[in-house]
């Protein structure tokens, strides 16, 4: 039990790191990685929702009837998204405004529903918790990596602190929509080059 | 009238939901390998997105706002969309079996399509009246379908090209999406 929980945790960090290995939940990845700050906050919010919904779904797995399980999962997820939304509104209002509609859109992030369906509805609470935490941290790391690249090249700053000298001309292509697609594609390519293990 | 035309043009091209607002990318990359599936998905999304836009507008204006329970917006919208998809599926199965056979497998997928939810949220954030909400959701839906079908065309050509191994499949798809996004980016100059 303990060993398998550790395995579930670590696989989210590398072997199945979302969104690179599991190509799910791309929309927030593209949209919020304009800057490191929004990337990190989005990652934390997603991790919170993922862990909570995994635990609750796992606890309720014997109660929920098979036929309406997707609807039940969505209600559980939507509840935690609302909690996260209200918390962020209270404690990090400026980031909340920057994230805009992508905060409520965590509801339709396929990673969360995917984990509820594939794992939490079948396994125990401990394993589901470990899986949610691992996947969430993996997702946050991916967002952080992509956001760092885009912000440093596209804006010449890191966490809004300038990293290059005055003479640096920002390559704004990277922080606009086309740059998001291209940089994510190239990162996928690099991950493929590095291999599965 | 003029502002409605302007709104539809800006929603289809300038603020294209797929390429400029980064919504609905999972089906965009998932079903764009073949033209047939792309057309099926585009039709299903257009259908559901317009209905969802109208229904969530009604729910927001006549239920959530008068009772001041706007914090329930996320839960309410996702439930409206999920039940709408289910209902459309049952309705099509009974009355238009030919269309159901065509759209069949794509309909359930739409529940977790963030473009549908995204349009619902945008409409209510901008506080459009009913006519504007209807026009905007139709235009966003057309923009989605247009981008998806165009992209499927590009992707069918890529199948014939020799792509380096690490770049194959999704990676090259994303890079191509970036190029298309660049083309749509040019519309921004018009606005």
Tell me: the pLDDT tens digits for A71-94? 888 889 999 999 999 999 999 999
Residues of B with CB under 8 A from a CB of A: 19-26, 29, 71-75, 77-79, 82, 111-114, 117-118, 121-122, 125, 165-168, 170-175, 177-179, 181-182, 185
In chain A, count H helices and then E strands. Answer: 8, 2
Neighbour count for residue A165 (Cβ, 10 Å) = 7
Residue for token digits 């073949």?
B34
Residue from the list A81, A178, A182 with its beta carbon closest to the beta carbon of B74: A81
Query: Residue A162: inside a domain, yes or no?
Result: no
- Tell me, yes or no, whether A154 lies in a domain: no
DSSP A57-95: HHHTTTTS-GGGHHHHHHHHHHHHHHHHHHHHHHH-HHH
Note whether B111 contacts A70, CB cutoff 8 Å: yes
Q: What is the CB-side half-sphere exposure of residue B188 using CA atoms within 13 A? A: 14
When mean pLDDT is compared across A161-165, B44-48, B99-103, the lowest value belongs to B99-103
Which residues of chain A have a CB within 8 Å of the CB of B121? Answer: 101, 104-105
Tokens of A39: 């990337």
Q: Is residue A41 part of a domain?
A: yes
Containing domain of residue A26, as a range?
A: 2-148
| Strand-pair category, A157-158 with A161-162 | antiparallel
Closest CA in chain B for residue A101: B121
Task: Give the tens place of pLDDT for each residue, A141-157.
Answer: 999 999 999 999 888 88
pLDDT at A197 over 50: no
Name the residue ranges covered by the structural domains of chain B. Answer: 2-189
Nearest to A192 among B82, B171, B178 (CB): B171
Structural domain contains residue A176: no
CB atoms within 10 A of CB B94: 9
Maximum Cα–Cα distance for chain A, whole Å? Answer: 62
pLDDT tens digits, residue range A15-72? 777 877 777 778 888 888 888 999 999 999 999 999 999 999 999 988 888 878 888 8
Classify the C-alpha dihedral A131-A137-A143-A146 as positive or negative: negative
Write the pLDDT tens digit of every residue in B58-93: 999 999 888 888 888 888 998 888 888 888 888 888
In a domain, A66, yes or no: yes
Structurally, chain A folds into a number of domains equal to 1
Q: Is residue A64 part of a domain?
A: yes
Report if residue A161 sits inside a domain.
Answer: no
Average pLDDT over residues A100-114: 86
Q: What is the pLDDT of residue A3?
A: 65
Residue B99 in this model has a pLDDT that exceeds 60: yes
Kindly report whether the peptide bond that precedes residue A19 is cis, defined as omega within 30 degrees of 0. yes
């Amino acid at each position: 039990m303990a060993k398998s929980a550790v395995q579930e945790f670590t696989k989210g960090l590398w072997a199945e790191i979302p969104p690179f290995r599991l190509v799910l939940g791309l929309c927030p990845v593209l949209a919020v990685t304009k800057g490191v700050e929004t990337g990190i906050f989005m990652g934390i919010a997603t991790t919170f929702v993922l862990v909570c919904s995994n635990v609750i779904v796992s606890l309720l797995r014997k109660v929920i009837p098979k036929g309406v399980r997707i609807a039940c999962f969505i209600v559980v997820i939507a509840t935690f998204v609302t909690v996260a939304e209200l918390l962020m509104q209270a404690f990090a209002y400026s980031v909340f405004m920057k994230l805009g509609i992508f905060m409520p859109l965590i509801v339709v992030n396929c990673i969360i529903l995917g984990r509820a369906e594939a794992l939490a509805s079948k396994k125990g609470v401990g394993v589901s918790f470990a899986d949610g935490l691992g996947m969430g941290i993996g997702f946050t790391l991916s967002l952080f990596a992509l956001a760092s690249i885009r912000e440093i090249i596209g804006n010449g700053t890191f966490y809004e602190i300038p990293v290059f000298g005055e003479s640096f001309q920002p390559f704004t292509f990277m922080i606009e929509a086309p740059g998001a697609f291209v940089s994510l594609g190239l990162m996928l390519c690099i991950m493929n080059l590095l291999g599965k293990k | 009238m003029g502002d409605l035309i302007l709104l539809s043009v800006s929603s289809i091209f300038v603020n294209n939901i797929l390429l400029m607002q980064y919504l609905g990318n999972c089906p965009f990359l998932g079903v764009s390998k073949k033209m047939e599936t792309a057309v099926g998905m585009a039709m299903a999304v257009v259908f559901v997105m317009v209905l969802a836009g109208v229904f969530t507008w009604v729910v927001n204006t006549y239920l959530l706002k008068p009772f001041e329970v706007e914090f329930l917006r996320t839960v309410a919208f996702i439930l409206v969309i999920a039940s709408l998809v289910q209902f459309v599926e049952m309705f099509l199965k009974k009355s238009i079996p030919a269309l159901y056979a065509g759209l069949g497998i794509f309909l359930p997928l739409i529940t977790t399509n963030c473009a549908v939810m995204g349009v619902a949220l945008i409409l209510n954030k901008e506080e459009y009246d009913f006519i504007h909400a209807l026009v905007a959701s139709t235009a966003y839906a057309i923009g989605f379908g247009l981008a998806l079908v165009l992209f499927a065309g590009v992707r069918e050509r890529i199948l014939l090209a020799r792509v380096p191994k690490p770049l194959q499949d999704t990676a090259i798809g994303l890079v191509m999406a970036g190029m298309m996004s660049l083309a749509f980016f040019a519309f921004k100059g018009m606005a």
